[in-house]
Amino acid sequence: MSRHESGRGVSRRQFLVVSAALGGGLLMQVSCKRNENAATGGNAPGAGGTPNPSIFVRIDPDDTIHVTIPKSEMGQGVRTALAMFVAEELDADWSRMRAEAASYDPALGSQGTGGSGSVLDTHSRLRVAGASMRLMLVAAAAKKLGVDASELTTKDSKVLHAASSRSLSYGELAADAAALAVPANVTLRKPEEWKLLGTEGVRSLDVQDIIHGRAKYGLDVRRDGMLFASVERAHTFGATVKSFDATRALAVPGVKQVIEVRREKAGEPRDVFGGAAGIHSGVAVVATNTWAAMQGRKALTVQWDLGPHAQETSASYAAFMRDAVEKTGTEIVNKIGDPDGELAKATDVLKADYEFPFLAHATMEPQNCTAQFANGTMELWSPTQFPDWATSAVAEHLALDPKQVKVHVTPLMGGGFGRRINPDFSVEAAVIAKEVNGAPVQVVWTREDDMRHDFYRQCAIHRIEAALGADGHPVAMRHRLSSPAIDASGGKAGKFGAGESDGIGNHVYRVPHRSTEYTLLASGVPRGWWRAVNTTHGTFALESFIDEMAAKAGKDPYEYRLALIDKWVVDSPKDSTQFPFNPERFRTVLTLAAEKAGWGQPLPPGHAVGIAQNVPDHLTYAAEVVEASVVNGKIKVHRVVVAVDCGRVYNPDGARAQLEGGIVQALSAALGESITIEDGGVVEGNFDTYKLLRIGGEPVKIECHWVTNDAYPVTGLGEPSVPPFFPALANAIAKATGRRPRSMPLQLST
């Protein structure tokens, strides 16, 4: 696919298959795999029957248009965004569009939702499908009206013949169009021709159902004869069940069964990590309702083998990491020039340490999954971000053929932020359902379960040292980092520094002598992908330190950054080959943010502004200016200005919501969120101790600005506003108070 496909002829018959829909209408399947029948322009085999599961676009006789969405909807608006691509090229009436969740289907390729890549991964196929269907509907109308197709136009799900004032709706034409071949080539609309894409005010397809309580989340799944389960899990990471007594639990009215949940894969001995699934050892109580299941769980008596991590604490982690950054890292991620030599001979070295705690995802809907094992098939209804991983993990853990596992993604899920990538809650439900053998079982997690059995954003300590030249610019910089790497979960071996140093090891500020060193902290705490991943700590450290260097040099931090932006110079972490770094785009977003914020203009008494940007996060350039004040030790954010370059913005309302949501979540983490480890387990259990941002604590004003270009079709927007917020706020606080916060959640140094 070319980088700029709008308006160009695109041949995509290899992934389009057309057939008649059940009950009449037009059905177009969209597959990642080449379909030879479609490639020759033929109809799908068995026209009139139900096709194999795939992305599909279906036009019903009543003019309703259904689009199957192969990505998970967790509040980011992907169902609306992807449906817009179909509607734009189809020239559809938006009020008639409906979105449906796609079950897992290997033919779709990756159905994982993460890395801010849903639109980038999927929009091309959907645009081509919409454009192809429109041509087929026009061809059907031309035949029915007895005119040439060139005399016809389309608008709001109708084909129009202006000369005779006749029109036909898409629903009326759908059955006839289904008998036609897929066009060999289509021309996609140019941006200046767009009616939906790029416009403000497009109504979300899900908002009315959400407002009126009709929206269906994982916890809303209901199946005939369904049972419910609550699981007592090991509080200490890595612990296993030594023994349990279910006598009192089974006496609770409604309790049907008590099942041990083992970490091990089928056929493996006890005390292994539990494979890629990462489930926790525990005891499940299965009952006819959630209340009985939870009361039965309370009545259990469980003895635990605490395992190897019971002595681990946040304090022991911090001690290890502080010692680690005092010496050369065990892994040299990159090195340019002679930073050690330059720092050794410098008479004045600027040094700072930045510390970070574990963070929970804290999704509003706790983890849950409904599973049923019947007739040799494991079927799941899961609010998962990665149904493909859930499928393979269930099959592996239970020694099933992947073809025996069917995963249905729930229409909506109450937040994800990376937590629902992991398959643990799906595998756990499957383990329980297999023991129940017949009835569907919904496993319901409590808030405490969710908080204490997450895959956490890792803790970390960064140390940065720099020597400045006569011009105030850095001559040498050494970055040392220690953390429990995400990819090292479960004791995996390897090199992890490149991933963990993303956002700082690959910074693009000009420094002739520089290096990045990494030391792994061994930890039993599960780690996972928290919104924007490693850049949430790397960017805070780097962009705070840039301000500290600017202050030492006596220079404006905005001008200081502009003067240092350079090309990509390191080979690890690597630059993107498909979307290589562009320093001009980096400068442009920084300049736009500063200009829109009125950088350098007078501020109210006690207010200050801070600025920061990030190494392109998920391929998108972003910069932010935060205006804040500190009164009686309390931080107040008055204004946030964010500038973003993601290529084309297809849904401005949705894009703005993504950026605003990222900023609010970043503020929550900056001011209060922290996971504490004691005795190998999590201390915090609910929102009384895990300090999420409360209503009224959000920024007074958030302004979003776009740098629109055609460099790429689109890059990610779900995560890029998160990393620069942390240092921009810290930089504003330092300027307002004269005290530099270097740890998260933000604490003012004395």
Which DSSP string corresponds to 71-123? S--SSS-HHHHHHHHHHHHHT--GGGEEEEEPPP-GGG------TT-HHHHHH
pLDDT for 218 equals 98
pLDDT for 39 equals 25
Planar angle of CA 79, 85, 87, nearest 5 degrees: 95
Residue 678 has pLDDT above 60, yes or no: yes
pLDDT band at 101 (very low <50, low <70, confident <90, very high): very high
pLDDT band at 265 (very low <50, low <70, confident <90, very high): confident
Residue 20 has pLDDT above 90, yes or no: no
Alpha carbon 721 to chain centroid distance? 13
Residue 590 has pLDDT above 70, yes or no: yes
Q: What average pLDDT does range 72-92 have in this prediction? A: 96
Residue pLDDT, tens place only, 194-229: 999 999 999 999 999 999 999 999 999 999 999 999
- DSSP category for residue 518: E
pLDDT for 749 equals 61
Residues 6+ apart with CB under 8 A from 244: 258, 260, 283, 300, 301, 302, 303
CATH number of 314-359+456-737: 3.30.365.10
Higher pLDDT, 98 or 49: 98
Q: Which fold has domain 9-211?
A: Aldehyde Oxidoreductase; domain 4 (3.30.365)
Planar angle of CA 101, 399, 276, nearest 5 degrees: 70
Residue pLDDT, tens place only, 134-191: 999 999 999 999 999 999 999 999 999 999 999 999 999 999 999 999 998 899 999 9
Residue 24 has pLDDT above 90, yes or no: no
Nearest to 667 by CA among 747, 729, 616: 729
Q: What average pLDDT does range 28-55 have in this prediction? A: 41
Cα separation, 512 vs 677, in Å, equals: 40
Residue pLDDT, tens place only, 275-308: 557 899 999 999 999 999 999 999 999 999 999 9
Residue 473 has pLDDT above 80, yes or no: yes
Planar angle of CA 256, 260, 262, nearest 5 degrees: 150
pLDDT for 43 equals 28
Residue 744 has pLDDT above 50, yes or no: yes
- Provide the 3-class DSSP secondary structure of residue 303: strand
Nearest to 692 by CA among 662, 666, 672: 672
Give me the percent of the chain exceeding a pLDDT of 90.
85
pLDDT for 27 equals 87
Residue 371 has pLDDT above 90, yes or no: yes
Strands 405-409 and 377-382, by their bridges, are: parallel
Mean pLDDT computed over every residue of the chain: 91
Q: What average pLDDT does range 353-367 have in this prediction? A: 98
Residue 120 has pLDDT above 90, yes or no: no
Cα separation, 650 vs 87, in Å, equals: 12
- DSSP category for residue 43: P
Cα separation, 530 vs 662, in Å, equals: 12
Q: What average pLDDT does range 671-692 have in this prediction? A: 97
Strands 227-233 and 240-245, by their bridges, are: unpaired
- Provide the 3-class DSSP secondary structure of residue 531: coil
* Same topology between domain 218-308+380-444 and domain 314-359+456-737: no
pLDDT for 36 equals 27
Residue pLDDT, tens place only, 524-542: 999 999 999 999 999 999 9
Contact call for residues 514 and 701 (beta carbons, < 8 A): no
Give the C-alpha distances (Å, rounded to integers) separating 414 from 75, 452, 565, 689.
7, 18, 39, 21
Cα separation, 199 vs 191, in Å, equals: 10
Cβ neighbours of 610 (radius 10 Å): 26
pLDDT for 15 equals 56
Greatest alpha-carbon pair distance for the chain in Å reads: 88
Cα separation, 585 vs 593, in Å, equals: 12
* Buried residues in 641-670 as b, exposed as e (16+ CB within 10 A): bbbbbbbbbbbbbbbbbbbbbbbbbbbbbb
- Provide the 3-class DSSP secondary structure of residue 374: strand
The dihedral sign for the CA sequence 596, 598, 600, 605: negative
pLDDT for 122 equals 86
Residue whose tokens read 């500020």: 509
Residue 8 has pLDDT above 50, yes or no: no
Residue 52 has pLDDT above 80, yes or no: no
The token pair that represents 387 in the structure block: 């149904």
Residue 61 has pLDDT above 90, yes or no: yes
Cα separation, 318 vs 184, in Å, equals: 61
Domain ranges of the chain: 9-211, 218-308+380-444, 314-359+456-737
Q: What average pLDDT does range 498-509 have in this prediction? A: 97
pLDDT for 35 equals 30
Alpha helices in 379-513 (DSSP H): 387-398, 424-436, 447-452, 497-500
Q: What is the 3-state secondary structure (H, E, C) of 409-425?
A: ECCCCCCCCCHHHCCHH
Give me the percent of the chain exceeding a pLDDT of 70.
93
Cβ neighbours of 180 (radius 10 Å): 17
pLDDT for 493 equals 85
Residue whose tokens read 């991943």: 533
Give the C-alpha distances (Å, rounded to integers) separating 369 from 594, 678, 679.
46, 29, 29
pLDDT band at 741 (very low <50, low <70, confident <90, very high): very high
- Provide the 3-class DSSP secondary structure of residue 435: helix
Contact call for residues 285 and 249 (beta carbons, < 8 A): yes
Q: What average pLDDT does range 582-610 have in this prediction? A: 97
Nearest to 195 by CA among 156, 221, 230: 156
pLDDT for 710 equals 80
Cα separation, 391 vs 389, in Å, equals: 5
Q: What average pLDDT does range 441-450 have in this prediction? A: 98
pLDDT for 390 equals 96
Q: Which fold has domain 218-308+380-444?
A: Aldehyde Oxidoreductase; domain 3 (3.90.1170)
Residue pLDDT, tens place only, 695-723: 999 999 999 999 988 876 678 899 999 99
Residues 6+ apart with CB under 8 A from 204: 77, 80, 653, 654
Residue pLDDT, tens place only, 561-582: 999 999 999 999 999 998 999 9
Residues 6+ apart with CB under 8 A from 475: 342, 346, 466, 467, 468, 469, 511, 512, 513
Cα separation, 65 vs 60, in Å, equals: 6
pLDDT for 45 equals 26
